[in-house]
A = this chain, B = another copy of it.
Amino acid sequence: MKGLIHAREEGFAGLTYGELESTSIGENEVRVQLKTAGLNHRDLFVLKRHKPTDPPLVLGSDGAGVVNEVGSLVSHVQVGDEVIINPGLGWKANSEAPPEGFEIVGLPDHGTFAEQILIPAENAVAKPSFLSWEEAGVLSLAGLTAYRALFTRGKVKSGMNVLIPGIGSGVATFLLQFAKAAGADVYVTSRSEEKRAAALSLGAVHALDSNLENWEEELNEKMDLVIECVGAATFQKSLNQLRKGGTIVTFGASAGDEIKLNLRDFFYGQLNMLGSTMGSAEEFELMLQFIEQHKIKPVLDEIYPLEQFEKAFTRLENGEQLGKIGFRIE
């Protein structure tokens, strides 16, 4: 079978689309014939972490397809089932943090950028029928991350003012859709006029132009909740928008991970800063129920054939996308 493999060279130069040997199925595993997959910032990060001396690796955390083989002990999944992949391995019930040994599909185990994947049967979840294959293929990682950050950690409630700096990424567009559906007033920022317009059409009450040095002057209200996935470049401004007693949830640092922070401002403001990453299988189920109830579909940016991975990775690295970049696998 074919897949997108990282081997032999550092970073992007080590990526090739080529032939892989299939491995035999474990007794609690299923094999999924993938139809679509989704690209995440994590894949860029994996490109940096996976060393040329490590065994070759298939990248990718998101995917959807049809089960074509089941292990001998698997009972609740059958050949022919249409599934999406929950990329969290070994985190079942919701908890403050993942258990020891938690991993994500696509490092160290092979990922979804291939014709087939072997995964634990519990990670093959029924595909929501109202989603297309493209939509289903790009949902998992970003949808789960957004769900935990916004609901479990941020405890979003109807009527809250919620700020999402840097709208554009897949996870940021899910945050906007989820927060809007939860009844919050959602504020976003972007340097792109096109993305600001798209955010307004998705239901943001205000889309601020972060090219302006003092974009926050256009905010008439303080925020109850900021969901921050940009990092160092925006963090201080994000903190400054919180009301006293407000909460910032952080789960991303694509624009730098070292921040400075003034403790006195922080504790006088009675602020809360909460770290979040990924989520449990329980939260994955809750996320699926939420999008089904509110008929939320992932915002699709571009969908490429897997062979055109270079275009996709470049588009993500340059931050040109609005919503999710995906792959068709045929």
Instruction: Give min CB distance, A47 to chain B, whole Å.
Output: 16
Q: Are A232 and B96 touching (Cβ within 8 A)?
A: no
**Does A257 sit at the interface, judged by CB under 8 A?**
yes
Residues in chain B near residue A258, CB distance under 8 A: 260-263
A residues neighboring B (CB under 8 Å): 95-98, 231-232, 235, 243-245, 250-253, 257-277
Q: Are A95 and B245 touching (Cβ within 8 A)?
A: yes
Asked if A261 meets B264 with Cβ closer than 8 Å, knowing A97-B245, A270-B276, A275-B270, the reply is no
Asked if A268 meets B277 with Cβ closer than 8 Å, knowing A95-B245, A244-B96, A244-B97, the reply is yes
Output the nearest chain B residue to A264 by Cβ-Cβ distance: B257
Assembled-state Cα–Cα distance A269/B244 (Å): 25
Assembled-state Cα–Cα distance A98/B274 (Å): 21
Assembled-state Cα–Cα distance A262/B235 (Å): 12
Assembled-state Cα–Cα distance A266/B252 (Å): 10
Asked if A277 meets B270 with Cβ closer than 8 Å, knowing A231-B263, A245-B95, the reply is yes
- What are some 19 contacts across the A-B interface (CB < 8 A)? A96-B244, A96-B245, A97-B244, A97-B245, A250-B263, A250-B267, A251-B267, A253-B263, A253-B264, A258-B260, A258-B261, A259-B260, A259-B262, A259-B263, A263-B275, A266-B275, A270-B277, A271-B275, A272-B274
Q: Are B273 and A272 touching (Cβ within 8 A)?
A: yes
Instruction: Give min CB distance, A242 to chain B, whole Å.
Output: 10
Residues in chain B near residue A264, CB distance under 8 A: 253, 257
Instruction: Give min CB distance, A188 to chain B, whole Å.
Output: 20
Q: Are B272 and A262 touching (Cβ within 8 A)?
A: no
Residues in chain B near residue A263, CB distance under 8 A: 231-232, 235, 250, 253, 257-259, 275
Residues in chain B near residue A244, CB distance under 8 A: 96-98
Sorted nearest first, the 4 A-B pairs with minimum C-beta distance are A96-B245, A97-B245, A267-B275, A97-B244
Q: Are B272 and A97 touching (Cβ within 8 A)?
A: no
Assembled-state Cα–Cα distance A260/B258 (Å): 7
Output the nearest chain B residue to A252 by Cβ-Cβ distance: B267
Output the nearest chain B residue to A228 by Cβ-Cβ distance: B263
Residues in chain B near residue A252, CB distance under 8 A: 267
Residues in chain B near residue A96, CB distance under 8 A: 244-245, 270
Assembled-state Cα–Cα distance A95/B270 (Å): 10
Which among A95, A235, A253 has the greatest number of chain B C-beta atoms within 10 A? A253
Residues in chain B near residue A272, CB distance under 8 A: 272-275
Residues in chain B near residue A277, CB distance under 8 A: 267-268, 270
Residues in chain B near residue A271, CB distance under 8 A: 274-275
Residues in chain B near residue A269, CB distance under 8 A: 97, 275
Q: Are A262 and B257 touching (Cβ within 8 A)?
A: yes
Assembled-state Cα–Cα distance A98/B243 (Å): 11
